[in-house]
Structure 1
């Protein structure tokens, strides 16, 4: 069965170069799609939602590449408001899998996304009474929420936030202020023009004592006329690299009062007399960010990489250029090994991250249940995982989308290819919800603590028990086929991660013992610590991919092709980081020759299934919005068709009469 997108074919029909790729598939595309979705029933449900969304003209993205910032914002709000009616009319659930399917279908070009983060903050951090009051209002959109944490002067370092909330016992209110320009809230989505309320994070002061950062529910606009509330200055921060549809905002507060009941108080509260009471870890106030980091990975990083792979691989199967052999027709660029080396590792990465994303959600759901029961034991590991994997996945996906764009040559640079908008959007994911270097160092801090604990014989979380493993000798591989054995390459990844963590810990300890201040010592180790955190996350990703493949059904060739992708992902990681793997002698130069040979062999094997593998992602043509990546492969016709829709081709040339005509006439008169 062909994906939904095949219905959007041009009159020219299916490009024969793509048709031949699909006929040669070694596995069932439909069964792989169902496997990725979590079952055939989920696939049917997702496709029904996609059909309902894409058949509705309100959600049309036909002219998205020709819209101004205001037009994009207005369209995003219109879609968001209409979507709520659609959800009710279709009987979809607000918190079920339908929401994920809708987000994937609409590609993020929808407003009021932070409203869900606003609700999640209240659900996680609010008391039962606060949840009962605010969640129904937010669910029915009687209020529109945002999430105000980042400031002009502080982002990832939450302890440095400068917004203040001072408790006034006389009035039972908190007085909120942004005392200087760097304290101004800056970047919150949906705040610039849309939100009526926000969860604002501020330093809590009671009787002159600071108790750290806490969240407060704050009304910023009137529910009557949408004007800013007294003491509130709010607006849009202006154009960005992308996200033109999103009204990222700024917020200044001058003696804005909120009632005592508006401090989210599931885990802590200020009592009427000013007594501060806490239940559990103060780090629970950062749990919303942990939740958001994990929730954004699929839609904001992994899906864009999947789309980029789909576009670039389909295009590479129909784009012919130069000749591999004299006398033959020009070759498909996907037949060149250099093109395979660009694109196929990105494809393997997309699949690897699909499986690690599933793992992270399972870990988060278990941790969330524990926290709801006021068991905070899993919080450090959960924080480390959400930080490290948010950094690893967004960095790799951003790099992968850029590689896909450049692999499409000049046409990849056209907005009509769909690749520039994927790239300019995904690159932001390396910055928001925590800057990646800072996040990796937070993961590294967790790893160092665990390594020291493991070295002392203490219990550590299951994910890091490998840190206590005894260093092994040389890798036993003798032939290139040995590097297709997961136990061989997993040991290499484990060895590298252990070495990087242990050497960082040893350097840190040595500096401190030699009299260097511990904070200075940490700063002197951060380059190695960042590398150690990446190595840990990379190892866990490979390990998880191996386990996921082992658990797949072997019918219809799915497990076999996934094993090839898993091997490619693992060997590409070694091939691309030779120095780190050679460093401790576990692998030798001779081993690297075997790795290279095995890796290059895999490129040729996976190339045969490249188009079916991206077809299995099951993106419609409307979702891809790409003239290069459509299911029918009619690239050149579609590029020309779409270019004709540009407003510049529908109107006169204002520069002609003003500048070109006088220039031409002057030149001609001189001649």
Structure 2
């Protein structure tokens, strides 16, 4: 995977590892097959010069975007030539590591057609989409409307005289705004609009609208479409043509309405389908479980860079001829870095569980079994919110952990952060999503009195009498290494916060109380989500993991994840009476001990993610640790260094140096 003949400056660190690397890689990849696909495709991408990231952050927006088109086109050609499977093609697009229009085509446009189009419509549209004979995007968000889908203003009014829908943007705030791929690349958009027929508004429905000519790619009559401009950060998401879209009485065939869940007849009659509307949840669940998996991937990249560089970087502590201390050996560095490493592993495992949950709910939906949908909605909403927020903050923390060099674009961290942080907003604002989880918790608690026993991730709420009365049994530091004690503390905290929030809402009066006590509800929802991650980590470990030392390392990381959260959220545990100050102090001390056990394995633990140097795109995170010569070399690639004397010297610097701006003695203010 790495170039032969390179000096490995981190070989000493790798020799300290107390576990077998290969079985850990298999676990993180999700299986032998998944690891094989990842390694084969990663090698294809890493050795192809077209996918090079060199100087990406130094390109203008126009150059950056055209380069992304070149990579997307080349990737599609490779997929055809190598006859890659759908799984391999998805992996290739992700490892090219450049947001582009194909992400929305395959990730949103195609799944939406699968989920909301009739069989006849799918037979027409899917072959075109699979061949990319049309390029689609997902146009939902509007300039004045984001998370509140029911507030969208774009209209689709049916005209029975021509058997067409008339798409219209009635005002400025109805402008579609943000859809990726819309600005320049897409020929079609899956548009969410208010369906109006027979003078009645039937709410939001999905329509496929052609927006550009398939001959010359120009916008069709009545369509206004453009890119919305430069986004945050160097490169980052600026390779994506996020766009704006307006309609001025644009007509589309009636059959361009996706009609799996409802249809409009030629006469303009609205008919709800016999197909349950819950079937549409499948696409949303798929996207959100993918986002949770991505959170682990992006955070693992930042953690890999920070761990490797923390071993290379030395600072202070050297006496005489002794070398300075490796930064990773400072407890302050470990306390900021190792919990992020543990979190990455925790999110990878919960992401794998969520993938199983998606398969389970889809099988149930096909049998019209909707019993698990409320829990699945809460799981995907809550975990999307939690993991993206923590991953975004974690990437920025890793940049800080790399000191001044982390601020260089060549570290890979600024661009990584800029590319990832939109995840906190798209597919649901993270605060709004936590409030949806809170509603689920309130409903679950309200049903307890009726004898409804909670199941799944909320099953602990069925044990309220114990969780709200009994304290923790921890009496010494090593008791915290018993995962049952960790779980009990997290369950008690989540249960007590949820119960208190429910009582406050009830006292204030339902909806008014929900708004008034939204802060307490968010705290309860976050506690529930953090419990979910910890419990799935523990459950996975209970099944056992093969390989020398692998189980032990995972146990340590699980304990670091749980205890770090416990110490960080000590206020919750203390204020709700779950723990005593002494028990929290014991947890803090045990956490310090665990850092010592992580230390010799840190480099191998990030090696297990299997990221190539190409994918990391970081001089600081190089596999071989050869940081300083390459930082120096990269500096000379800076365009400013093409000239010895800078352009602008004669006009601006020389007059200052020669004091040509000094006023004469006769000058007056």
> TM-score, normalised to structure 1's length?
0.94
Q: Is this contact kept in 1: 2:375–2:456, CA < 8 A?
A: no
- 1:668 offset after TM fit, Å? 11
Take 1:571 and 1:99, find their aligned partners in 2: how far apart are those partners? 39
Residue 78 of structure 1 aligns with which residue? 70
The reply on whether 1:198 has 2:189 as its aligned counterpart is yes
Question: 1:369 and 1:35, CA in 2 relative to 1: closer, same or farther beyond 3 A?
Answer: same
- Which segment drifts farther, 370-379 or 411-420? 370-379
In structure 2, how many angstroms separate the alpha carbons of the residues matched to 1:7 and 1:352? Answer: 33
Question: Secondary structure of the equivalent of 1:251?
Answer: strand
2:126 aligns with 135
* Alignment CA distance shift 1:565-1:583 (3 Å): same
Greater shift after overlay, 367-376 or 188-197? 367-376
CA shift digits 1:259-311 (9 cap, x unpaired): 22111112221223313223355465565333222223333x22111011110
Secondary structure (helix, strand or coil) at the match of 2:193 reads strand
Question: How many residues end up aligned between the 2 structures?
Answer: 655
Q: 1:524 to 1:58 in 2, by over 3 A?
A: same
1:525 match = 517
Structure 1 residues 525 and 281: CA distance shift in structure 2, 3 A: farther
1:60 aligns with 2:52: yes
3-state secondary structure, aligned to 1:202: strand
Q: Name the structure 1 match of 2:30.
A: 38
Match of 2:580 among 583, 588, 596: 588
Matched, 1:345 2:339: yes
Q: Which among 10, 14, 18 is matched to residue 26 of structure 1?
A: 18
Shift of 1:101: 2.5
TM-score (norm 2): 0.94
1:266-277 to structure 2, matched below 5 A, reads: 266-273=260-267, 274-277=269-272
Deviation at 1:110, TM superposition (A): 4.0
Is the CA contact 2:223–2:245 (under 8 Å) kept in the aligned structure 1? yes
Aligned-pair distance for 1:480?
Answer: 0.3
Question: Does structure 2 conserve the Cα–Cα contact (< 8 Å) formed by 1:480 and 1:595?
Answer: yes
How big is the shift at 1:376?
3.3
CA distance in structure 1 between the aligned counterparts of 2:425 and 2:484, rounded to whole angstroms: 35
Shift of 1:658: 1.8
Corresponding residue for residue 178 of structure 1: 169
Shift of 1:380: 2.3
Residue among 305, 312, 315 paired with 1:321:
315
Question: In structure 1, what is the equivalent of residue 407 of structure 2?
Answer: 413
Other-structure match for 1:14 = 8
Q: Which residue, out of 553, 569, 574, partners 1:561?
A: 553
- Map 1:179-328 → 2, pairs under 5 A: 179-241=170-232, 242-273=236-267, 274-282=269-277, 284-285=279-280, 287-299=282-294, 301-323=295-317, 328=322
* From 370, 381, 387, the counterpart of 1:376: 370
Q: Distance in 2 between matches of 1:250 and 1:256?
A: 16
Residue number in structure 2 paired with 1:161 = 152
Q: Which is worse superposed, 319-328 or 256-265? A: 319-328
State the distance in 2 between where 1:130 and 1:374 align.
Answer: 22
- State the Cα deviation string for residues 591-646 of structure 1 (Å, max 9, x = none): 01110111110011111111110011111111111110101111111111111112
Is the contact between residue 137 and residue 186 of structure 2 (CA under 8 Å) also seen in structure 1?
A: yes
Determine the C-alpha separation between the residues in 2 that align with 1:377 and 1:169: 39
Secondary structure of residue in 1 paired with 2:504: helix
Cα distance in 1, alignment partners of residues 318 and 542 from structure 2: 38
Aligned to 1:500: 497
The alpha carbon displacement at 1:519 in A equals 2.8
Matched, 1:601 2:593: yes
For 1:501-534, what per-residue CA distance to the aligned partner results, in whole angstroms no more than 9, with x for missing partners?
111111111111xxxxx43221102111111111
Q: What does residue range 386-425 of structure 1 map to in structure 2 within 5 Å?
A: 386-425=380-419
CA distance in structure 2 between the partners assigned to 1:502 and 1:354 by the alignment: 30
Q: What do the CA deviations read for 1:218-272 (whole angstroms, capped 9, x no partner)? A: 1011111111111110000000014110000000011112222111112221223
Report the Cα distance in structure 2 between the residues aligned to 1:501 and 1:524, rounded to whole angstroms. 15
User: 1:515: which partner in 2?
Assistant: none
Distance in 1, matches of 2:577 and 2:319, equals 42
Report the Cα distance in structure 2 between the residues aligned to 1:633 and 1:668, rounded to whole angstroms. Answer: 49
Separation of aligned partners in 1, 2:5 and 2:499 = 55
CA contact (8 A) 1:444 1:533 kept: yes
1:371 Cα deviation after fit: 2.5
* 2:39 is aligned with 1:5: no
1:114 aligns with one of 94, 101, 104: 104
In 2, the alpha carbon distance for the partners of 1:72 and 1:560 equals 45
The structural deviation recorded for 1:184 is 0.5
1:324 to partner: Cα distance: 7.2
Contact 1:214/1:285, CA 8 A, preserved across alignment: no
**What does residue 478 of structure 1 align with?**
475
- Give the Cα–Cα distance (whole angstroms) in 2 for the partners of residues 201 and 288 of structure 1: 15
Contact 1:186 1:249 in 2 (8 A): yes
Whole-angstrom distance in 1 between the partners of 2:46 and 2:600: 31
Task: Give unpaired runs (5+ residues) of structure 2.
Answer: 665-669
- 1:664 correspondence with 2:664: no
Paired residue secondary structure (2:195): strand
Cα shift readout 1:194-219 (whole Å, capped 9, x = no counterpart): 00001000111222222221111110
Distance, in Å, in 1 between the alignment partners of 2:363 and 2:4 is 43
Equivalent of 1:653 in 646, 655, 664: 646
Query: How far apart are the structure 1 equivalents of 2:306 and 2:72?
Result: 30
In the TM superposition, 1:444-483 aligns within 5 A as 444-469=438-463, 470-472=465-467, 473-483=470-480
For the structure 1 residues 592 and 364, does the alpha-carbon distance in structure 2 shift closer, same or farther, using more than 3 Å as the test?
same
Q: Displacement, 1:326?
A: 8.3
Asked if 1 retains the 8 angstrom alpha-carbon contact of 2:454 and 2:461, the reply is no
Q: CA deviation at 1:171?
A: 2.1
Is the 8 Å Cα contact of residues 163 and 201 (structure 1) preserved in structure 2?
yes
Do residues 575 (structure 1) and 572 (structure 2) align? no
Please state whether the residue corresponding to 1:210 is helix, strand or coil.
Answer: strand
